[in-house]
Amino acid sequence: MGVDLGARRIGVAVTDEARTMALPRTTLERSGDAAKDRAAVVQLAVESGAVTVVVGHPRSLDGSVGPAARAVEAEAEALAEDLAPHDIGLELFDERFTTVTAERELAAAGVRGPRRRAVVDRSAAAVLLSSWLDGAGTGSRDPGPGVTP
């Protein structure tokens, strides 16, 4: 399952059974309670039969880790602890350009305005998950500090 942890929304994507395609699933609005938000992600992971939750790691263009990446690392570490009792792993994965790619794909498909804003987060999660699936086993994964693959 792919997860794009945004400040206002959480985009979620899942794979098909063959793990060859990433499909946008839903967008969760942030509740203001981090534990509730994590519980919602855990519930979706359990319901979808996820083995691994892939969380987008927002590194800077030069690859450095800035404040946004550190915030995601902290949230991912807490999420990994919440997922562990369900035997679901967590991996951070470089998400540079996922939202830009999702925006371009939606624009090319004619999705505009409020409708695009409503689906861009789940679409970004699908781009992230698709990239992760394509790169599985190539060493392109980014476990980040405190999070084990």
Output b/e per residue, 19-48; b: 16+ Cβ within 10 A: eeebebbebbeeeeeeeebbebbbebbeeb
Percent of the chain at pLDDT above 90?
A: 54
The pLDDT of residue 145 is 41
Domains of the chain with bracketed CATH:
2-135 (3.30.420.140)
The pLDDT of residue 118 is 67
Q: What is the pTM of this model?
A: 0.81
pLDDT surpasses 60 at 141: no
For residues 51-77, give the mean pLDDT: 90
122 and 13 in contact (C-beta within 8 Å)? yes
Percent helix, strand and coil across the chain, each rounded to 5?
45, 20, 35
User: Per-residue confidence at 148, pLDDT binned at 50, 70, 90?
Assistant: very low
pLDDT surpasses 80 at 117: no
For residues 101-129, give the mean pLDDT: 77
pLDDT tens sequence across 33-51: 999 999 999 999 999 999 9
